[in-house]
Amino acid sequence: MDLGELKDQLTKLGIFEGEEVTFSPLKGGVSSDIYLIQNKGRKYVLKQALSQLRVEEEWLADVTRNLAEQDFIHYVSSFARDNVPEVIHADRQNAFFVMSYYGPPYQNWKAMMMTGQRSPEVTRQVARLLAQIHSHSYLNESVQHQFDHTNLFLELRVEPYILFTGSKYPKWKQIFDTEAERLLEHGEALMHGDFSPKNILVNGEQVLLLDHEVACYGDPAFDIAFMLNHLLLKRLVFSNAEPGDSKLPKVFWDHYFQQLNIKQSIDLKIRTIHLLKMLMLARVDGKSPAEYLDEGHRDWIRKFFTKSIGVNFQDNFDAFLDFFDEHRFDDKN
């Protein structure tokens, strides 16, 4: 639907008061049209899926991911209502929905971290929320059935991050291919699929999770490793961060596993550490490279991958972090 049609439809539904409604594009999205809607002092956000993402490498995806996002918000609202946006209007046929706008005092967590605000308390809240989503949906057949979006997960995550990265390294390709296959077969809990700081808004210690379109029933290790990857890369880039700030990956890991309510987490830990190494390389040589890494960082990560992939850390994240820190100040050029 184009902007005119969206406006007409929403006006007919009587969502707005009076005639004065403005739609302005919001920045930041690569996979959707996102508009800020203003009407009589009230603000909303409309999100509609695009059929072609705005990144350099060609990367197409099914617009039904907007429906997965609607479903995810609905499901998580049932136990963590304050941690997902409030939906005002949802349209499945046209793959869009309107939610409340969370402007200031809400701040984007990635932007906060980039300006040195790396709060352990916020990190704990983020870990708690993820553990809650995974625990709640753990081995739940009806959730598995509802979020059977392996094709989307393949297209938006496994292909661009895992298979594409592996294809650039004949020596490691088999490891990446095996991991891809494993991820596509593993059904254990509801994954968010894009669990990264840029999709989290923070107000004090309250965290609000956005952008749930890659939600899929799968391996919770993916979300944990995805977030740890961001926290570690920031630790690498901001290596002169104040000492208290620099332990966010450990805070996240410890708190997540404290809060997780499942019988056995050793295998999950082992899978997470293994996947984390691959995701680190994926942010350098995959289809969605991290924009804040310079050539020195990129080389460092490639070398770190080569060193760490042969080391078996088992479920010991502290050992992995020590290994990371031992090499953190190695020459980045």
Binding residues vs ligand ADP (CB under 6 A):
26, 28-32, 34, 45, 47, 85, 99, 101-102, 108, 198-199, 210-211, 213
CA distances 276 to 19, 264, 308, Å, are: 51, 20, 10
Nearer to ligand ADP among residue 131 and residue 210 (C-beta): 210
Cβ atoms of 62 and 68 closer than 8 Å: no
DSSP codes, 240-309 = TS-GGGTTHHHHHHHHHHHH---S--HHHHHHHHHHHHHHHHHHHHSSS--TT--HHHHHHHHHHHHHHT
Residues with Cβ within 8 Å of residue 142, at least 6 apart in sequence: none
Residue 211 engages Mg ion in binding (rule: CB under 5 A): yes
Residues with Cβ within 8 Å of residue 7, at least 6 apart in sequence: 21, 23
In the complex, minimum distance from the CB of residue 288 to Mg ion, in angstroms, rounded to a whole number: 11
In the complex, minimum distance from the CB of residue 316 to ligand ADP, in angstroms, rounded to a whole number: 33
Nearer to ligand ADP among residue 1 and residue 26 (C-beta): 26
H helix intervals, 51-169: 65-77, 109-114, 120-137, 141-146, 150-153, 164-167
Which of 66, 199, 246, 272 touches Mg ion by CB under 5 A? 199
Nearer to Mg ion among residue 166 and residue 197 (C-beta): 197
In the complex, minimum distance from the CB of residue 45 to Mg ion, in angstroms, rounded to a whole number: 12
Residue nearest to ligand ADP (CB): 29
Q: Which residue do the tokens 């293994």 mark? A: 274
Q: Which amino acid is at 89?
A: H
In the complex, minimum distance from the CB of residue 212 to ligand ADP, in angstroms, rounded to a whole number: 8
- Binds 130: which of ligand ADP, Mg ion, none (CB < 5-8 Å by kind): none
DSSP state of 83: G
Q: H-helix or E-strand containing 266?
A: helix 266-285
Nearer to Mg ion among residue 199 and residue 246 (C-beta): 199
Nearer to Mg ion among residue 152 and residue 273 (C-beta): 152
In the complex, minimum distance from the CB of residue 211 to Mg ion, in angstroms, rounded to a whole number: 4
In the complex, minimum distance from the CB of residue 5 to Mg ion, in angstroms, rounded to a whole number: 24
Nearer to ligand ADP among residue 188 and residue 213 (C-beta): 213
- Binds 25: which of Mg ion, ligand ADP, none (CB < 5-8 Å by kind): none
- Binds 231: which of Mg ion, ligand ADP, none (CB < 5-8 Å by kind): none
In Å, how far from its chain's centre is CA 4? 31
- Least Cα distance to 303 among 327, 321, 325 occurs for 327
Nearer to ligand ADP among residue 210 and residue 268 (C-beta): 210
**Cα radius of gyration rounded to whole Å, the chain:** 20
Residue nearest to Mg ion (CB): 211
Piece in contact with Mg ion (CB under 5 A), picked from 11-19, 87-95, 185-193, 206-214: 206-214
In the complex, minimum distance from the CB of residue 199 to Mg ion, in angstroms, rounded to a whole number: 5
Residue 249: CB atoms within 10 A of its CB come to 23
Nearer to ligand ADP among residue 32 and residue 165 (C-beta): 32
In Å, how far from its chain's centre is CA 160? 14
Binding site for Mg ion (CB under 5 A): 199, 211
